[in-house]
């Protein structure tokens, strides 16, 4: 299943980095789920690279197999279980090979993983990657090893991630970890712990270093970027206990955006994910102020019905959400929005479903990520509400919502036709070797014929003359 901005084909794809003299051991590392996992894998690769591990794309060559896993929906977990099953024969042939599970499934299932999956030797939660070298010593001695301790402070701020499998042009930069929001359907607060923000100096250093290494676009990452608050370390929840000086000099997300935009003035800047109840007018003003901050906000809403939003504990109403969108469109006239929707949440009626559809029409999203509700053990919704919408009803409503988003996307893409757009070249089009693909400021994908002298990472002016549902067709001017 496609996750945000992670190309479908990249789910579960292993990445390798340049060889260097090492300990002779090979790491095979695959990532599943959201951008945060892909970004975390770069931290893991960096830690293990320091230990002398080289990466490999051939699983049969590996001494260490690591899967960085996702728990967001049941299907994501099934994918990982099936993948693990494929390693069984390898483990038989190479009993010394270590198989480890990282990320959200590791955190959710903990020792259960070691009990249920005989093949798994190592279980490491998202805040424990620094402990990998120690844990690997244990597995080398033939013992199972586990660390799923969640941290209130860990931001891996000082670890310079190695860039895995990227295009050398776009990169993720993590700015917050964890989430304190407790949306009732969501497993993330349980698997990724308390929300904490990363030191802005280390963020800016990482952005500058990316620029110096040829990168042209960064996406600032967090479960809730708008909630970013730096006051000297520690969880956001403890901000009330900070000193007066810490409170006076604290930095919020809009201020961070301002600092980053100035520090890397020619870098394109995106961010994800915004939470409607924490997104402020100040952030829209920053987008308007800086040319290098893209005119695009991913603003998940999950449902258009107030009753459902309340059951989900989303902390805003339909009207508040629509007001925020309106404000964004006023402050940044050329802005685009995308959504996440959960279809068939507990007790969702036909009327609620229609409210979701009418909200989508009102906002006119460029695109969206829509999923059937999948109940997650341990979440408030799982404990207190019944997953009572029959699968066929969920499927039908999901199909309706996807079809509607298709219409809206096509309409939005048509709106980009007949104008010149600044497109960052991110690679060669999959369908046509003679064409580039890239994105405009609004995050719409554009393909156009390659011209001599153009190269990866260039920002070029492209006249858009046509479109499909999700892609702009253009030519360089």
Interacting residues toward ligand F3S by CB under 6 A = 179, 181-183, 186, 188-189, 223-224, 275
If contact means CB under 5 to 8 A according to the sort of partner, which of ligand SAH, ligand F3S, none does residue 397 touch? none
Among 172, 298, 155, smallest CA distance to 226 is for 298
- State which residue, 275 or 409, has the beta carbon closest to ligand F3S: 275
Pairing of strands 435-439, 420-428: antiparallel
- State which residue, 31 or 147, has the beta carbon closest to ligand SAH: 31
- Residue 294 assigned to a binding site: no
Q: Does 224 bind ligand SAH (CB under 6 A)?
A: yes
- Residue 207 assigned to a binding site: no
Q: Shortest Cβ distance from residue 220 to ligand SAH (Å)?
A: 12
Q: Does 342 bind ligand SAH (CB under 6 A)?
A: yes
- Residue 346 assigned to a binding site: no
Contact 346, 311 (CB under 8 A): yes
* CA–CA gap between residue 160 and residue 207 (Å, rounded): 11
If contact means CB under 5 to 8 A according to the sort of partner, which of ligand F3S, ligand SAH, none does residue 33 touch? none
Q: Which of 376, 394, 412, 439 binds ligand SAH (CB under 6 A)?
A: 376
Among 165, 82, 65, smallest CA distance to 120 is for 65
* CA–CA gap between residue 289 and residue 68 (Å, rounded): 37
Q: Does 394 bind ligand SAH (CB under 6 A)?
A: no
Distance of CA 60 to the CA centre of its chain: 29
Q: Shortest Cβ distance from residue 242 to ligand SAH (Å)?
A: 24
* CA–CA gap between residue 249 and residue 243 (Å, rounded): 10
Site string for ligand SAH, 413-432 (x = CB under 6 A): --------------------
In the sheet that 145-147 helps form, which strands lie side by side, from edge to edge?
54-55, 26-31, 64-69, 98-102, 122-124, 145-147
* CA–CA gap between residue 281 and residue 325 (Å, rounded): 10
Contact 83, 106 (CB under 8 A): no
If contact means CB under 5 to 8 A according to the sort of partner, which of ligand F3S, ligand SAH, none does residue 189 touch? ligand F3S
Q: Shortest Cβ distance from residue 155 to ligand F3S (Å)?
A: 17
Q: Which of 47, 62, 73, 442 binds ligand SAH (CB under 6 A)?
A: 73
If contact means CB under 5 to 8 A according to the sort of partner, which of ligand F3S, ligand SAH, none does residue 72 touch? ligand SAH
Q: Shortest Cβ distance from residue 194 to ligand SAH (Å)?
A: 15
If contact means CB under 5 to 8 A according to the sort of partner, which of ligand F3S, ligand SAH, none does residue 73 touch? ligand SAH
Q: Does 273 bind ligand SAH (CB under 6 A)?
A: yes
Binding interface with ligand SAH (CB under 6 A)? 72-73, 185-186, 188, 223-224, 273, 300, 302, 340, 342, 371, 373-374, 376
């Amino acid at each position: 299943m496609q996750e945000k901005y992670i190309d479908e084909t990249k789910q579960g794809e292993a990445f390798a980095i340049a060889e260097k003299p090492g300990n002779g051991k090979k790491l095979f590392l695959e990532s599943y789920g959201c951008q945060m996992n892909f970004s975390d894998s770069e931290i893991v690769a960096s830690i293990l690279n320091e230990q002398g591990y080289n990466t490999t794309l051939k699983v049969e060559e590996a001494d260490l197999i690591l899967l960085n896993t996702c728990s967001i929906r049941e299907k994501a977990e099934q994918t990982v279980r099936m993948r693990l099953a494929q390693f069984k024969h390898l483990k038989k042939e190479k009993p010394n090979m270590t198989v480890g599970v990282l990320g959200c499934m590791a955190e959710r299932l903990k020792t259960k993983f070691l009990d249920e999956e005989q093949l798994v030797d190592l279980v490491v939660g998202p805040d424990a990657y620094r402990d990998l070298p120690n844990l690997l010593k244990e597995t080398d001695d033939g013992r199972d090893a586990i660390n799923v301790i969640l941290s209130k402070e860990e931001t891996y701020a000082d670890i310079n991630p190695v860039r895995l499998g990227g295009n050398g042009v776009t990169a993720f930069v993590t700015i917050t970890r964890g989430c304190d929001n407790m949306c009732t359907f969501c497993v993330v607060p349980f698997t990724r712990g308390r929300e904490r923000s990363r030191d802005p100096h280390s963020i800016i250093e990482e952005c500058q270093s990316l620029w110096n290494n040829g990168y042209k676009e960064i996406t600032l990452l967090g479960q809730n970027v708008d909630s970013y608050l730096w006051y000297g370390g520690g969880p956001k929840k403890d901000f009330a206990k900070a000193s007066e000086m810490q409170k006076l000099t604290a930095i919020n997300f809009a201020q961070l955006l301002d600092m980053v935009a100035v520090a890397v003035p020619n870098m394109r800047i995106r961010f994800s994910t915004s939470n409607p109840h924490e997104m402020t007018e100040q952030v829209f003003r920053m987008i308007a102020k800086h040319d290098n901050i893209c005119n695009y906000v991913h603003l998940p809403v999950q449902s258009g019905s107030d009753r459902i939003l309340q059951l989900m504990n989303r902390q805003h109403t339909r009207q508040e959400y629509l007001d925020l969108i309106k404000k964004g469109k006023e402050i940044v006239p050329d802005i685009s929005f995308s959504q996440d929707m959960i279809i068939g949440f507990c007790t969702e009626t036909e009327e609620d479903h229609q409210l979701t559809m009418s909200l989508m029409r009102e906002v006119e999203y460029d695109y969206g990520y829509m999923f059937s509700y999948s109940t997650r053990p341990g979440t408030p919704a799982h404990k207190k509400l019944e997953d009572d919408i029959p699968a066929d009803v969920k499927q039908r409503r999901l199909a309706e919502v996807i079809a509607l988003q298709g219409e809206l996307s096509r309409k939005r893409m048509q709106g980009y036709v007949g104008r010149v757009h600044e497109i960052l070249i991110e690679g060669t089009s999959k369908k046509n070797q003679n064409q580039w693909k890239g994105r405009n400021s609004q995050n719409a994908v554009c393909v156009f014929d390659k011209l001599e002298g153009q190269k990866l990472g260039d920002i070029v002016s492209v006249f858009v003359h046509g479109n499909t549902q999700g892609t702009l067709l253009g030519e360089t001017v």
